[in-house]
Amino acid sequence: MESAAGGGGGGFRASEHQHSRYNPLRDEWVLVSAHRVKRPWQGQLEKPPPEDVPRWDPKNPLCPGATRANGEVNPHYEGTFVFPNDFPALQPDAPEPDDSGHPLFQAAAARGVCKVMCFHPHSDLTLPLMSLLEIRAVIDAWAELEAELGASYPWVQIFENKGAMMGCSNPHPHCQVWASSFLPNEARLEERTQRQHHSQHGVPMLLEYAEQEAQRKERLVVENEDWLVVVPYWATWPFQTLLLPRRHVLRLRDLCDSERDSLASIMRRLLIKYDNLFQVSFPYSMGWHGAPTGPHLQEDCGHWQLHAHYYPPLLRSATVRKFMVGYEMLAQAQRDLTPEQAAERLRALPEVHYKLRPQETVCGAAQA
C-alpha cells in the first residue's frame, strides 16, 4: 500500500508523509496529509440523519397521491416517477442576455429543462435498501431520460443529493435531471482532459485507468464482471469513489441488459458499504458523466468514458464531516487520509446492510 504515491525513497510512507497527487481528469493536484486525521476534533458536529422517516406522508410533496407546491397531485405511482421540477434552475424559453460591451462582463444564454425522479413510492427506502429489480428500474429510467433530453440538449446531468448534509430538502428517495443548452464547467473540463489524453496515448483515459486499478487492486472497493468501484488515486473527499465500466461505453443508453443488471448489483454493494461504515444512512452527492449529447451525437466522442462520481462528506464518524474551506478554497484540495486507507476500510465492510443484520451483530460491530 505504501507504494501508492510512487517512489522517492528516503523512508517515505504515503500513510505518514504529506505529498501531492495529480488528478488527470480535472488537471489539478490534491494535497494528501494522512497524519492530520490523528488531530483532536473540537469543531462542528453534524446531526445524524433521522431513522424514523415515515413510509408515506400526505404532506410530503414527493409521495404518491400528495399535492405538490404548484397544486398538481402526484399519481399513486408504484415504481419510478418523473415530473418537471416545480422550482427549475433552467427553463427552455429564457431570453438572450444583452451584450455588456466589455470582455470582462460576459453573459451567455442558459436554457434547459429540470426534472425530478422519485426512485420508489416509499419514503423510508434508499437505494441500498431497494431490491435489484427496483434499482434496475432506476437505471432504465436514467437511460431513458438521458436519451429523451439528450436528443436536443448537449448536456444531461443526472445527480442525487442524499441527506440533509448534502443539501437534500426531502428524505424521499429521489434524484434530479438537468438538461442544459451548454456544457457546464465540469463537463467542459472533462471533455478537454479526456480528449487530450486520447490524442496523446490513443486510448480513453478512464478505460486505461480502470484497467490499471483492476490490476493494482489497492484502491479497489468492489468489482464484478462489468464494473469496478475505486477510491480514486487523486480522491479529494475522504471516502470518494469512482464507478467505472470495464468496456468502452460512451453513455448510459449504450449499456446492454446484462450491464444494467450488474450495475444495479454493484451500486447496491457500494451503497450498503457506505451505510455500514458509520451505521447511518450515508450522505453523498453523486452524478453520471458521459459523452455530450444533442449536436455532439453526430461527433466522434471516442475519448469519453461513462462514469459516476460519488462525493460523500463524512470523515471520522456519522457526525464529523470534511470541510472544504480555507486552504481548499484558496489554494488547492487537501485530504486527511490516503485513498488506499479509505479503500481498505470500505473493502473490509460487510455487504449485508446493518439494518438487515441480527441486532446483536450490529451492536457488536458498533462496539468494535
Tell whether 131 is in a known binding site: no
| Contact indicator for 287, 308 with CB cutoff of 8 Å | yes
State the residue for C-alpha cell 451525437. Answer: 297
Which one from 120, 172, 174, 197 is the annotated catalytic residue? 174
DSSP 181: S
Read off the C-alpha cell for 247. Answer: 468496456
Tell whether 322 is in a known binding site: yes
Tell whether 259 is in a known binding site: no
Q: Pick the closest to residue 279 from 48, 53, 58, 38 (CA basis).
A: 48
Tell whether 276 is in a known binding site: no
Which residues on adjacent β-strands are paired with residue 116? 83, 176
Tell whether 309 is in a known binding site: yes
How far apart (Å, rounded) are the C-alpha atoms in residues 155 and 290?
Answer: 9
Tell whether 134 is in a known binding site: no
Tell whether 289 is in a known binding site: yes
Tell whether 38 is in a known binding site: yes
Tell whether 217 is in a known binding site: no
Tell whether 168 is in a known binding site: yes
Tell whether 355 is in a known binding site: no
Q: Pick the closest to residue 37 from 348, 273, 341 (CA basis).
A: 341
| Contact indicator for 115, 82 with CB cutoff of 8 Å | yes
Tell whether 316 is in a known binding site: no
Tell whether 323 is in a known binding site: yes
How far apart (Å, rounded) are the C-alpha atoms in residues 87 and 115?
Answer: 10
Chain CA centroid to CA 208, Å: 20
Q: Pick the closest to residue 362 from 275, 304, 268 (CA basis).
A: 275
Phi, psi values for residue 276, rounded to 5°: -75, -20
Q: Pick the closest to residue 332 from 241, 236, 242 (CA basis).
A: 236
Provide DSSP, 224-239.
-SSEEEE--TT--STT
Q: Respond yes or no: is residue 174 known to be catalytic.
A: yes
Tell whether 85 is in a known binding site: yes
How far apart (Å, rounded) are the C-alpha atoms in residues 160 and 282?
Answer: 13
Tell whether 296 is in a known binding site: no
Read off the C-alpha cell for 144. Answer: 431513458
**Residues annotated in a binding site:** 36-39, 69, 85-86, 161, 167-169, 176, 190, 289, 307, 309, 322-323, 327-328, 334
**Residues annotated in a binding site for Fe cation:** 190, 289, 307, 309
Catalytic residue positions, numbered: 174
**Residues annotated in a binding site for UDP-alpha-D-glucose:** 36-39, 69, 85-86, 161, 167-169, 176, 322-323, 327-328, 334
